[in-house]
Each structure stands twice: as C-alpha cells, then as structure tokens.
Chain A
C-alpha cells in the first residue's frame, strides 16, 4: 500500500510538472507577452517599446529558463542598469549591495508564488483568500448534493421499473442535461426577477462573500449541486439495482427480513462503493461549475480569479491557479483509488 501511494504521488508530481509547463508555455507565447506588456505599460506601445519592457522585466529569456526560475531550481534573473539592480527576487530597483542580500532562488519550491500583475498583490494571499471563499461554496454544495443524490439513487434503484424509479430517473437525466449556465439563468429568472415577481432569493451572491445567508447563497449552491447530482444519482441507481438482484439479497428476502432492513442493512453498504468513486471524480467537474456559477452570481472566489487571471494573461497567478486545480484533481483521484480499495476488500493492489 505504501509503495502504491508513493508511486502514485510521483506520477502526480510529474503530471503537475507537465501541466504547469504547458500553462507556462502557452502564457509565454510571444503574442501573449505582447498583450501583457501592453496592458501593464500602455496600449499604444510600439514594438520596440514592447521588447524593451519585456527585456526589463525578465520576460525575454528562454521559456525553459523562466520555468526553472518559477519552480525555483534556477537562480532568479537579475539585471543591472546604472548601478541599480532589478530582478526576480528583488522588489523594485535597489543598489547592488542590497541586491547581494536578496535570495538567489525564489520559486514555488522556496514558497514564493510570485506577484500578480492584475491584482498587484502577492499570489499566495490572493489564492488563499479566494480559495477559502470557494471552499465555503464547495462545502455547502457537497452537503446538498451528496445526500440528495444518494437518496434519489437508492430510492430509484431499490425497486427497479416502478413509477418511483422512472420518475426519479427522468429527474436525474434532466439535471445532467442542464449545465450550470442554463439552470442558473432559469433560477435567476424564476426566483429573483421582478418580471416573475417571486423574489425569494437574491440574483447575486456578492454579499455572500462577507455574510452568507440562505437568501443570497442558496441559488449558487443549488445551481452547482444540481448538475452533478443527476450523474451521482444514476450511478447509485445502477449499483443499487445490481446489488438488489444479488443472491444474498434473495436469501435475506426468503428468510423473511423486512424490505426496509434489506435495503438499509444489507444492500446499502455494498451499493455505496461505486458512488464513492464517482463522487470523488466529480470534483474536477465541480471546479468547472464553480467557475461558471461564480461568474454568473458574481461571487468573487477561486473561479472568478481564474477568469480574471486568464483574461488578463496574469502568468504567475494563472500558474498558481492551475497548480491548485491540478492538485485538487489528482488528489481526489488518489483518494478515490485508495478509498475504493479500502471499501471493497475483494480488490488488492499487487
């Protein structure tokens, strides 16, 4: 088991390295750097000015070298102009004496995530603050989504082919067919607009960042939860119907165990193995939902930062965002694998 986790972790780190390099490469293409220079300097820069701006800020080095500096395995660049030193690890132009004091390496290995050019702040503070906001959203999404999905799945799967099964299955197909931007728009139209007049909830979740209430926070949570819910419910249903036809359930039935006890005591434990994996693998999808919903409801969390960083080619922020999301995806994959082995004793890792 230990070896298995170790192997998975090394693959994970390698994957994360590859992915961040792809992001690094794409954000460091000439056209993107030119856009960055123009948004940071001014829009009417000439080509020569763009080149000198990029030169001055260390962007004109080879991509592999820059990537190494970002990682912290190569020394950060420095540049001396008229006795004033600027560099990756130095804030602002300083004298050569001060520059000598600064660390040589400053990448993510040293814990330096860099500086966001859009928000003009340390990347680590931005990401930390926004992640906590999104964490709250995700927490409530899971609280709403997982129990209701499992309930729908178990109810539909315990008696296959009945009216309950058919109607619940239709509901779960309907929710998987409704992406967040559709359900969100429909919810906003029905529950918040003055045209319909219900006005039960608020159409934006901006105020929920400081003070989440049921009124301003329920709709975004529901919107994200709904799309994932149908899929988990269908998987639960499939595994439940399979378990309900198993031999040991028939034995229990013939013994005269009540239907309630069959479902709760005998079937449920086995039926919930498959959905566990599915729930874990839903995290990457939830991440997409978060980006859409945070844009739709104007909730300034992690997804919103992703949109801002990508829209403005904020390289270091974007890299941090992708590192976080890739780690989330890979960790959930790892947990789902380990959990599957733990829950299902028939599987052994050789």
Chain B
C-alpha cells in the first residue's frame, strides 16, 4: 500500500465528509427557498458574510453530530495503532484488518492515534458543551439583569458589584482554582451547579406566571406541568448516583437512582459550571444596559399605565425588544465559550487527558511542533474556523437586524 499524495488526501477527506456536505446543501436549499417566511433567520441568507459564517458553523455542527454517530471518523479516536506514531498525513496502516480504513488521512499523533478522527470527535466535544453553556449563561444573565436594570437602586448596586467581582478575576486564575480534581472532590462545583441551574427554572416560572396569572385555570396546570418537568431535569442534572453531593466527609441525598436517567461526569460538570460562571456576568451587564435603555420607551409606560406587573413588563415587553443585540451576543458568546474550552484543554484542566477536544490536542501537539506539524495544526485551524464562523454569523445578523 502506497502513501497517499496530497490531492488524494484532500479527495478522500472530502469524500469522508460527504454526509456533512449533503446536510449542508439540503439545509441551504431549504432555507433559501423559504427565506421570506423565516424572519430574521431567513434574512441571514441575504447577507454574504452571514451565509459564509453560518456555513462554517453548520459545517462543524454537522461534523460533530455525525462524528458522534461514528459516521465520518475512520478510526477509533482513542485506539493506538502500532507503527503509526507521528506518521505524516496519508500514511497507510501497516497491517490493516478486514474492513478497516487503510490510511491515516491526517497522520498519527505522538501516541499513534488518528488525527483526523480525533479532529471530528473534538468537534462534538465543543458542540455538546458550548451552546448549552451559552444558553445557561444567558438564563442567569437575563434573570438577574432584567430586575437590576428595571428596578435600579440597591438591588442594581449589589448585583453589579457581584458581576464586577467575577469580571475582575483573571479567567485563567479562576479556572486554575475551580477546575482541579481537589475542588471536584470537595463538592464546590456541585454547589455552584445547584445554584446556577436554578436560574432557568426561575426564568421559566416567572415567564409563564407573569403572562397567564390572570387565567388561573390555564396557568396552574401549565405551571405544574412545565415546572415539574424542569425540576425533574434539574434534579437529574445535579444529582449523581443518588447523591447531590458526595465528599469524603459528608453527603447529601438527591434523586433516587430509579428516577435518574442520566449522570454527568464530574469532570465535565465542573468545566460546564465554570464556563457558565465566567460568561454570565458579561451577559448580565449587557441585559442590564439594554433594560435601562428600553424601560424609558413609551410602550413600557403604556404597559405600566395598563397596570401590568413589573415581571410582565420585563419579560414580555422589554426582553422581546432587546432580542436583536442579545441574539448577536449569543453567537459571539458561543465563540468565546469555544475559546474558553480550548484554553481549559490547553492547560490540561478538567477534561480527561486523552480527550479528543481541540485544546488538549493542540497542547499535545505543540511539544513536537518543530518537527511534526500535522498533530497540532488541524485542531488549531478547526477552532479558528469555528470561532470565525460564529463571529461572521454574528456580524451578518447584526447587519440584517439593523436593516429594519
């Protein structure tokens, strides 16, 4: 078996990614066909920058999802194949088994693992954490930022002080303090998770109650249903193996195992919690600023005269009108979260050492960078293109939302 030439490598990678191409073409065809009926999302397809950004983002989203379903990857991301250590891209396997892919398309890393497969699996690591972390950060930021901006006064001073406190911390120092095995053992991340994950529930409860409290016959069953589900999900999230907190000294019982359908790996939880923790003060400041601006508008005064409650005004009058800047910031925040996750991986914090995420892979590859480029460069370029895509997408959205 001969090594592949550069052209062959490119062709084979493109072929390997075919599910991604098909999905992308499908998505774009559908979106462009119906773009007039899709609101802001449809308008995105009027701006070339937004389209390029969206394509880059969706490329990695599809690659991550299909990669997680083992469709694109050529080899197992953790298995080491003898004789493939630091081999250049396109090297054939020494003795491929029946049905096994015969080449390392992007070469092998310093532990003889396939760089291409790790790259695709690394996309999934980002796709599964970053958007969720951004959503949680937004829930926390919105739930606290709206009242701070609307009421002002002592509440605002206090919350702003807390936000500035967290923002004054250098992010890396915070990560080094929070994301260590010792801290995980002491249960601090679990407490933080318990506090931070409450905010979506509060948000949902206030959102629904403020809208429907005039119709108790609808509100009560709706609230019981939605909150019941949310609290159940919350308990599943925060309790692990039947315990909320389990340290050497003491433990607090949580949801019984029978009702607990998924457990979150403590290493992953601490990463997730710290990323949310770092992001939410910035969201808080943005929401607070927007609220202070919007609350002086006439329609807010009209709602106040109508006698609407403060939470109704905040959530159903102010928030929808602040959506433009918030959507833009949401895209940027996912990009920033991706960078943060890469930073964590780069310093070897939190995630498992053999994890295929891009930050860890860059960190592994950089030590031999002067001789072998191929293990470190693909994840670096992948991270760059994903974050660039998100920034371009945000730019396109900003441009389009300013047009109306």
Contacts and interface: CB of A to CB of B under 8 A. Distances in A.
9 contacts: A31-B182, A32-B186, A194-B371, A195-B373, A295-B346, A303-B172, A310-B176, A311-B176, A329-B167
Contacts of B172: 288, 291-292, 303, 306
Given A19-B168, A173-B392, A185 B370 contact: no
B391 interface: yes
Interface in B205-251: 249
B133 interface: no
A179 B342 contact: yes
A203 interface: yes
Identify the interface centre among B168, B178, B366: most chain A CB within 10 Å of its CB.
B168
Given A177-B384, A284-B170, A203 B370 contact: yes
Interface in B356-404: 359, 362-363, 365-366, 369-373, 376-377, 380-381, 383-384, 387-388, 390-392, 395
A196 interface: yes
Nearest to A47: B248
A180 to B, nearest CB: 9
Contact of A31 (B183, B342, B376, B391): B183
B335 interface: yes
Main secondary structure of the interface of B (DSSP, over half): helix
A185 B371 contact: no
- Nearest 4 A/B pairs, CB to CB: A310-B176, A31-B182, A177-B388, A177-B387
A339 B373 CA distance: 46
A325 interface: yes
Contacts of A173: 388, 391-392, 395
B366 A185 contact: yes
Contact of A26 (B188, B249, B342, B373): B188
Nearest to B185: A31
Contacts of A322: 169-170, 173
A234 B165 CA distance: 27
A182 B170 contact: no
Contacts of B173: 23, 306, 310, 318, 321-322, 325
B257 to A, nearest CB: 26
B189 to A, nearest CB: 11
B127 to A, nearest CB: 17
Contacts of B388: 173-174, 177-178
Given A19-B168, A203-B369, A291-B172, A35 B182 contact: yes
Contacts of A194: 370-371
A244 B367 CA distance: 48
A287 interface: yes
Contact of A176 (B188, B381, B391): B391
B375 to A, nearest CB: 10
Contacts of B383: 179, 182
A185 B183 contact: no
Identify the interface centre among A31, A181, A295, A313: most chain B CB within 10 Å of its CB.
A181
Contacts of B167: 284, 329
Interface in B159-183: 161, 164-165, 167-173, 176-178, 180, 182-183
A189 B177 contact: no
Given A181-B343, A322-B173, 4 more contacts: A177-B335, A192-B369, A288-B172, A329-B168
B252 to A, nearest CB: 17
Contacts of A35: 182
Nearest to B383: A182
Identify the interface centre among B161, B170, B172, B182: most chain A CB within 10 Å of its CB.
B170
Contact of B347 (A34, A176, A295, A313): A295
Contact of B384 (A32, A182, A188, A291): A182
A184 to B, nearest CB: 8
Contacts of A291: 170, 172
A11 to B, nearest CB: 8
A188 B370 contact: yes
Contacts of A174: 388
Interface string B140-168: 00000000000000000000010011011
A203 B185 CA distance: 38
A19 B169 contact: yes
Contact of B377 (A18, A186, A306, A311): A186
B339 interface: yes
Contacts of B186: 29-32
A192 B370 contact: yes
B182 to A, nearest CB: 4
A189 B362 CA distance: 12
Contacts of B165: 15, 18-19
Contacts of A307: 176, 347
B20 to A, nearest CB: 21
A311 B347 CA distance: 10
B334 to A, nearest CB: 12
A288 B170 contact: yes
A30 B383 CA distance: 37
B168 A182 contact: no
Interface in A120-147: none
Contacts of B347: 295, 307
A27 interface: yes
Interface string A280-307: 0000100110011001100000010011
B65 to A, nearest CB: 22
Contacts of B164: 15
A31 B248 CA distance: 10
B54 to A, nearest CB: 15
A225 interface: no
Interface in B314-368: 335, 339, 342-343, 346-347, 359, 362-363, 365-366
Interface in A6-59: 11, 15, 18-19, 23, 26-27, 29-32, 34-35
A326 interface: yes
Given A26-B177, A27-B177, A185 B369 contact: yes
A290 B225 CA distance: 50
A148 interface: no
A276 B366 CA distance: 35
Identify the interface centre among A34, A177, A310: most chain B CB within 10 Å of its CB.
A177
Interface string A311-328: 101000010011001100
B366 A296 contact: yes
Contact of B376 (A23, A189, A287): A189
Contacts of A23: 173, 177
Contact of A195 (B182, B365, B372, B391): B372
B380 A326 contact: no
B182 A185 contact: no
A320 to B, nearest CB: 12
Nearest to A11: B161
B395 A306 contact: no
Contacts of B365: 185
